[in-house]
Structure 1
């Protein structure tokens, strides 16, 4: 049903309702008026009867009253019946009267008992009858004085005039009047609808035309031309709309496609291009804020934390994990997990190619196939794994899990947006990786791969503060190659570099990941053993000393040499509460080892600092 028909139907119903209300009101009023008119007529007739009977009584012809009553009855066609009744007091004084002057119904009894007019309406299909009884009450005032003839008191009921009035013609007249009004209303409704249709149709046509244009605009099409035959404001509005749509087409026509160059296709799906543009702009704004924030973060780890916060708060993921893949080492490291443990087998950490998502470079959605990734162990869980390459050395994997299969559809819909954030973070992460490499290069010794003295100077205070907070200890080893200068002088610096390189390899293989091994300078090395006891420090020192002493260095002409180490040991904070002082104490013990024969492991003793012969 179109709008015009709805409007016409509403107007017609309103006019019909108004007509019905008018007819009902007129009917009720007409009925009330008919009854009131008949009652007034009955009262007037009763007054005439009273006066006539009084005259009969005064003239002494009361026995002739029947003729008088019959004349009134026969000369008034509306009166169906007329009779008079006497009260008991009148009967006692003057007798019963004529045969028809008797009580006929309850109304006659009530009027004699109460002395008040009583009436009722009797209505049926054949007609309407007003039944009314009007009392005659005795009065001592006026002319004649009732008390002069009747043995009654002032106010007593002498009798009553009872009548039946036929008011059917009034009902018929009312029905005829109502039909006339109904006809007039119908004619008025038809004329009103015709006029409304005539004057409203152009506006409804304009309205329909505007609806069509707006529907096209929702689809991004602003080429619609608005037309109307209505003059005045309506025509002005259509001209303004045409101007607006033309400008919108010129300025907005390609905005969706331009924005899509920033956001990959599929990130936003909507039939409303304005909503889609708004969503894309909001997405770009959020990504811009995200990128501006991480550009000021000074570490790769902090950027990873921003990614985790985005997944947690923007996308509202409750259960997920973030992994970093070292492409060159083919290893994977867990950066963050919301709770519990990884759904992946532990072997994946050492062999990243076992990860289906990383190996195939594609999004893995568990609902696509039963047991899709064989390395995942997740009963009653669904998962989505998203791979993302940072550069030739590193990649990221985001693993999102949910107990509800319906959540996977939402996660899948968010994948393009997640990748937008990863794309924004990619250059920043690459920059931080490069910065870490440069920092590592500046803090490591290129010959041995160990940290250099600059690293020790830059970070040792940080390690000491951490150790003091957590009550950790360090064993400090100071190593020196015995008679190293002789190697350079005798066999050349190439052989000397080989000796240094091999010692670095022995040290790396002998210490733990938590320990710090540093090339202190030349042929001197410092090792900080984390939470090592005196016995543990001696054991590590012995392993390094024996391992290095077992090496043979080819010096040419089918000759080879072996070298030994002198090692000094001190304990932090047992020997001193300053790590730099402990390094000096280890150096003192090293000096003692060198001056007492070399190829020794010497623990620092307090007397070494007091005896100049031992230093």
Structure 2
């Protein structure tokens, strides 16, 4: 009966510990933001140390029990509970690691490996809050493949997917470590550039376009595949999230209407006209 009671107590402690770890994860993700949780990985101190400390409450009781002269029973209790403790610790560690991997995959675009639209929306909110706090501007690049539907019609959707993955790889190889590159829809990408002014964003956008152009030319020789990039900056060109998205898209589609294959920063006089 005592062994059964110990095992039930271990299970109860394990469930409480699981709730504690989950709560810590949620609080941490809210504080640090999605930009850090995308790299969420193993956390041994959380998945091993916390369950170990909480579960050690029961062995402490055994020690007190043995001091009172019941040493023979402590050996049995200690052996059974040690095995159970090790199994629980290992399970907690694997469960936390699996959840971290699933959470990361849920925020990635399966085709390009870039962050997806859900991640982009959250990251954009975080970027605005950070810009307001630090008083530093940040820029948004809206990137679109020119005539992707024509490419799909001419060469097939499998070829179109190869174009998307090639562009995704080129973007990944050129963005800075703090930048957030995302695939927003079929042929549109968004890149958040922290602490980046209008002038700086122009240089970065042209460098990214140059890398993409070179990568596409090498991967698909003889095929004219181009991109257009629109740029907007918060808070100098947009005062909120919706304005930032609209102005970046405005610059993008203004560029597509005037020759495509270019980089254009939002200008309220030009775009509104």
Secondary structure of the residue that 1:527 maps to in structure 2?
Answer: strand
Q: CA RMSD in A?
A: 3.5
Is the contact made by 2:151 and 2:160 (CA closer than 8 Å) also made in structure 1?
Answer: yes
Match in the other structure for 1:291? 14
Is the contact made by 1:294 and 1:425 (CA closer than 8 Å) also made in structure 2?
Answer: no
Match in the other structure for 2:38? none
How far the C-alpha of 1:440 sits from its partner, in A, is 2.9
Is the contact made by 2:17 and 2:50 (CA closer than 8 Å) also made in structure 1?
Answer: no
Match in the other structure for 2:120? 456
Q: Using the alignment, how far apart are the partners of 1:421 and 1:467 within structure 2?
A: 46
How far the C-alpha of 1:463 sits from its partner, in A, is 4.4
How far the C-alpha of 1:441 sits from its partner, in A, is 2.9
2:263 aligned with 1:573, yes or no?
A: no
Q: Using the alignment, how far apart are the partners of 2:101 and 2:217 within structure 1?
A: 33
Show CA shifts across 1:139-176 (max 9, x none): xxxxxxxxxxxxxxxxxxxxxxxxxxxxxxxxxxxxxx
Task: Map 1:447-526 onto structure 2 (within 5 A).
Answer: 447-526=111-190
Show CA shifts across 1:477-536 (max 9, x none): 001112222211111112211111100001111113322111111111100012223333
Q: Which runs of 5+ in 2 are unaligned?
A: 26-40, 57-80
Show CA shifts across 1:197-228 (max 9, x none): xxxxxxxxxxxxxxxxxxxxxxxxxxxxxxxx
How far the C-alpha of 1:314 sits from its partner, in A, is 9.1
Secondary structure of the residue that 1:599 maps to in structure 2?
Answer: coil
Q: Using the alignment, how far apart are the partners of 2:54 and 2:99 within structure 1?
A: 29
Is the contact made by 2:139 and 2:193 (CA closer than 8 Å) also made in structure 1?
Answer: yes
Is the contact made by 1:294 and 1:306 (CA closer than 8 Å) also made in structure 2?
Answer: no
How far the C-alpha of 1:605 sits from its partner, in A, is 1.4
Task: Map 1:331-370 onto structure 2 (within 5 A).
Answer: none
Task: Map 1:78-477 onto structure 2 (within 5 A).
Answer: 281=6, 285=9, 287-288=10-11, 290-296=13-19, 297-298=21-22, 299=25, 304-305=45-46, 307-308=48-49, 423-477=87-141
Is the contact made by 2:180 and 2:191 (CA closer than 8 Å) also made in structure 1?
Answer: yes
Secondary structure of the residue that 1:480 maps to in structure 2?
Answer: strand
Match in the other structure for 1:178? none
Show CA shifts across 1:247-282 (max 9, x none): xxxx8xxx7xx68xxxxxxxxxxxxxxxxxxxx95x
Using CA pairs below 8 Å that are at least 6 residues apart, which structure has the higher relative contact order? 2
Q: Which runs of 5+ in 1 are unaligned?
A: 1-250, 260-279, 316-416
Q: Using the alignment, how far apart are the partners of 2:230 and 2:165 within structure 1?
A: 21
Is the contact made by 2:205 and 2:263 (CA closer than 8 Å) also made in structure 1?
Answer: yes
The structure 2 residue matched to 1:602, chosen from 264, 269, 273, is 264
Is the contact made by 2:198 and 2:233 (CA closer than 8 Å) also made in structure 1?
Answer: yes
The structure 1 residue matched to 2:192, chosen from 528, 531, 538, is 528
Is the contact made by 1:554 and 1:561 (CA closer than 8 Å) also made in structure 2?
Answer: no
Is the contact made by 1:548 and 1:563 (CA closer than 8 Å) also made in structure 2?
Answer: no
How far the C-alpha of 1:306 sits from its partner, in A, is 6.6
How far the C-alpha of 1:594 sits from its partner, in A, is 1.1
Q: Using the alignment, how far apart are the partners of 2:179 and 2:233 within structure 1?
A: 14
Cα separation, partners in 2 of 1:501 and 1:301, compared to 1, 3 Å: closer
570-579 or 597-606: bigger deviation? 570-579
Is the contact made by 2:47 and 2:92 (CA closer than 8 Å) also made in structure 1?
Answer: no
Tell me the TM-score normalized by structure 1.
Answer: 0.33
Q: Using the alignment, how far apart are the partners of 1:553 and 1:489 within structure 2?
A: 22
Secondary structure of the residue that 1:435 maps to in structure 2?
Answer: helix
Alignment length (residue pairs): 230
How far the C-alpha of 1:610 sits from its partner, in A, is 2.7
Give 1 or 2: higher strand fraction.
Answer: 1
Is the contact made by 2:17 and 2:51 (CA closer than 8 Å) also made in structure 1?
Answer: no
Cα separation, partners in 2 of 1:460 and 1:533, compared to 1, 3 Å: closer
How far the C-alpha of 1:599 sits from its partner, in A, is 1.4
Q: Using the alignment, how far apart are the partners of 2:241 and 2:134 within structure 1?
A: 15
Is the contact made by 1:448 and 1:505 (CA closer than 8 Å) also made in structure 2?
Answer: yes
Secondary structure of the residue that 2:149 maps to in structure 1?
Answer: helix
Cα separation, partners in 2 of 1:431 and 1:561, compared to 1, 3 Å: same
Match in the other structure for 2:217? 552
Is the contact made by 2:17 and 2:54 (CA closer than 8 Å) also made in structure 1?
Answer: no
Cα separation, partners in 2 of 1:437 and 1:472, compared to 1, 3 Å: farther
Secondary structure of the residue that 1:598 maps to in structure 2?
Answer: coil
Give 1 or 2: higher helix fraction.
Answer: 2
How far the C-alpha of 1:564 sits from its partner, in A, is 1.8
Is the contact made by 1:553 and 1:562 (CA closer than 8 Å) also made in structure 2?
Answer: no
Is the contact made by 1:545 and 1:564 (CA closer than 8 Å) also made in structure 2?
Answer: no
Q: Using the alignment, how far apart are the partners of 1:606 and 1:308 within structure 2?
A: 56
Indicate the structure (1 or 2) with the bigger Cα radius of gyration: 1
